[in-house]
């Protein structure tokens, strides 16, 4: 259980950075907007894995899983954020909200 709490701590640090995110552009540093789509999908990913790790297991047995299984949660969040920030480079939720 402690490993799970530690992995959720690292996920929240990754999802909501304390500093300002900057990107290079036009010869100066400008503030980069937070990707809402990546953050939303990362939170859904965390809740789904938490469901399978905590709730879907029978309560009568001790958890029999390796210790590295808890590192899947922050690693998956990092992959989702990198994929949406640097590969796709599009925020679908922000585009949808801007149209309304």
Neighbours of 41 (CB within 10 A): 19
- pTM of the complete model beyond 0.85: no
Return d(Cα 5, Cα 3) in angstroms, integer: 5
- At residue 64, the pLDDT reads 74
Contact at 8 Å (CB) between 71 and 9?
no
- At residue 53, the pLDDT reads 76
- At residue 18, the pLDDT reads 44
- Reference 3, options 47, 97, 66, 80; nearest CA is 66
- At residue 26, the pLDDT reads 54
Q: Give kind and range of the element (H or E) at residue 25.
A: strand 22-25
Largest CA distance in the chain: 60
Q: Report residues of the chain scoring pLDDT below 70.
A: 1-31, 56
């Amino acid at each position: 259980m402690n490993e799970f709490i530690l992995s959720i701590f690292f996920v929240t640090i990754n999802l909501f950075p304390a500093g300002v995110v900057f990107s290079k552009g036009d010869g100066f540093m400008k503030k980069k907007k937070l990707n809402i789509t990546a953050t939303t999908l990362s939170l859904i990913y965390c809740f789904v894995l938490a469901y399978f790790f905590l709730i879907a297991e029978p309560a009568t047995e001790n958890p029999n899983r390796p210790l590295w299984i808890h590192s899947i949660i922050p690693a998956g969040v990092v992959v989702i954020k990198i994929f949406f920030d640097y590969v796709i480079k599009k925020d679908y939720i922000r585009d949808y909200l801007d149209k309304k």
